Amino acid sequence: MEARVIRCSGCGASVPADAPQCPYCKAQLATVACPACFALAALSATHCPGCGATLAPRSSPTPDGAACPACAKPMVAVRVGDLEVRECHACGGLWLDRAVFEQLGTSRERQGAVFGALPAPTAPPAVALEAVQYRPCPACRQRMNRVNYAKRSGVVLDVCKDHGIWFDKDELRRVLAFIAGGGLDRARELELEQLKEAKRAAEAPKELHPSSSFEFRRQMNAQGHWLSTVGLLGLAADVAWMLWDRE
């Protein structure tokens, strides 16, 4: 039987249901101990992955009527697909508790059901440049982090690593469309390639760079490739890394 996976609320990666930590971004995953065998299970799990025992449903950490992170109006509990979320009728935003977000990541069928239950997209409003605001989590009232989902989706979400994620109007639809279009899988593959490339670069023997303008001219005269296209690109890369190291 295929191992059940969940989505990390920090980076969106697929991780085993009983993993206490995301192997990619190292975020701590919400887990609970099975009362029968004490194995770790995802907070969103209904059965223990170790012994199969039924896990008691857990109450939401977000109280009824909690203030909307965006406009401070009270939110109400609604069902989208088979998930219970908090919705702000004033601004149209949605709050997903961490366990609910993990449930959403367990299957493509559930994602499709939620996508179909969401309101039709509206015309995007005129974008005005405003100062970035760090919104309060409706559960703990601490300021949330702003995260570009999967680093490349272009959907910037407000995330409380302990309690959940806030989606402005239409943002949940955009995230699900990004996942359905293979964006999350491509982002993960690209990130893994970058990690492999960084590892190869770290393990490769480092070349000695000219330590003086005299030495640079001597090498340039001796090796004409410094002025080739590849040489110029390499020189530009060296300068970029020097500037990076100074930051």
Give pLDDT, residue 166. 96
Q: Please give the pLDDT value at position 101.
A: 86
pLDDT along the chain (247 residues), means of 10: 55 64 64 68 67 69 90 93 90 91 80 87 63 90 92 91 92 92 85 85 68 53 40 39 41
pLDDT of residue 121: 79
pLDDT tens, position by position, 11-29: 666 776 556 567 776 665 6
As given in the structure block, the two tokens for residue 88 are 């702000």
Q: Give the Cα separation of 232 and 245 in Å (integer).
A: 20
Please state the pTM of the whole predicted model.
Answer: 0.60
Count other Cβ atoms within 10 Å, centred on residue 244: 8
> Which residues have CB under 8 Å from 37's CB, separation 6+?
48, 50, 51, 53
Question: What's the gap between Cα 246 and its chain centre?
Answer: 29
pLDDT at 54: 74
What are the Cα distances from residue 15, in Å, to 20, 38, 77, 115?
10, 20, 28, 22
Residue 47 DSSP SS3: strand
Count of alpha carbons within 13 angstroms of residue 2, beta-carbon side: 6
Res 177: pLDDT: 92
